[in-house]
Amino acid sequence: MDLVDRVAAQRWYHTLELPGGVVTPGEYDLRAVAERLPWPDLQGLRCLDVGSRDGFYAFEMERRGAAHVVSIDLDDPGGIDFPGPRPPDASIAGELAAGNAAFELAREALGSAVERRHVSVYALRPDDGRFDFAVLGTLLLHLRDPVGALMAVRGVADRLLVNDAVRRTWWRGPLGRLAPTRDQPFWWMLNRAALVRAVEAAGFGVEAASGTFFVPWGPGRSAPAVLGGGLRQVPARVAMRRGAPHAWVLGS
């Protein structure tokens, strides 16, 4: 089976450019976003991609010259934070297996040396090695304890770039919403100010932070229907036709 067929047979979270002009049909397309993120010089650094799924940020750091990149994600459904009602573990295991299989295929196609570890962000320990730089992308909304996760990253990394989904609000102070849906693996939806405060609360000094911007949907996902979820959600769903609202924070 050639690469095109292998890619077509696999589920993809990220849109990745593979050799031979092959592009994965990911749910999110971070390629243009990555060019606007505040990357430091990664030449020779040891880097960590937290909640990597199929590895977009890990491969991007390797492409930018990192000497060693570790990509972490889970393979055990028991490690997943999922607000009730929780799906069967078999269903969650299928999601994890799809992400791990996509990562392995992309790593093989790219000839990448990124190291994959199956470990929870909460279990990160300095004894397992320190990192010069860590990236955490679109993960905090899936975690029961987002600040605890950031504190675990603080314990192993000198600098951090968070690029996470945020709630668009008129309120300028820190604001979060608990479990915005009952049928999705979301715990918290923070606004931009709350995302900045969470990074600070975990012990990082904030070097810079973006305004809100949209991560475009990839070919593997359609934009949300405007009329789904009731009339109160129509303005948010109209905005989300452009993509998923995000903000980044750079800390050290």
Instruction: Going residue by residue through the chain, which has 252 residues, state the pLDDT in tens, using 9 for 90 and above.
Output: 799 999 999 999 999 999 999 999 999 999 999 999 999 999 999 999 999 999 999 999 999 999 999 999 999 999 999 888 889 999 999 999 999 999 999 999 999 999 999 999 999 999 989 999 999 999 999 999 999 999 999 999 999 999 999 998 888 899 999 987 777 789 999 999 999 999 999 999 999 999 999 999 888 766 555 455 554 554 555 455 578 999 999 999
CATH classification at residue 51:
3.40.50.150
Which amino acid belongs to residue 81? D
Q: How far apart (Å, rounded) are the C-alpha atoms in residues 168 and 130?
A: 34
Q: Find the angle CA(152)-CA(155)-CA(159) to the nearest 5 degrees.
A: 100
Q: What is the three-class DSSP state of 83?
A: coil
For the stretch 168-186, what's the b/e string if a residue is b when 16 or more beta carbons lie within 10 angstroms of its beta carbon? ebeeeebbbeeeeeeeebb
pLDDT on residue 220: 74
Q: How far apart (Å, rounded) are the C-alpha atoms in residues 168 and 246?
A: 9
For residue 11, what are the domain limits? 3-251
pLDDT on residue 88: 92
Torsion of CA 202, 81, 30, 52, to 10 degrees: 80
Element (H, E) at 3: helix 3-8
| Token representation of residue 123 | 């279990």
pLDDT on residue 226: 44
C-alpha dist (Å) from residue 38 to 33, 42, 151, 207:
10, 11, 21, 10
Asked if residues 14 and 55 have their Cβ atoms less than 8 Å apart, the reply is yes
Largest pairwise CA distance in the chain? 53
pLDDT on residue 185: 85
Domain count, the chain: 1
DSSP string, 195-233: HHHHHHHTTPPEEEE---EEEPB-TTSPPPPTTTT-GGG
Element (H, E) at 62: helix 56-63
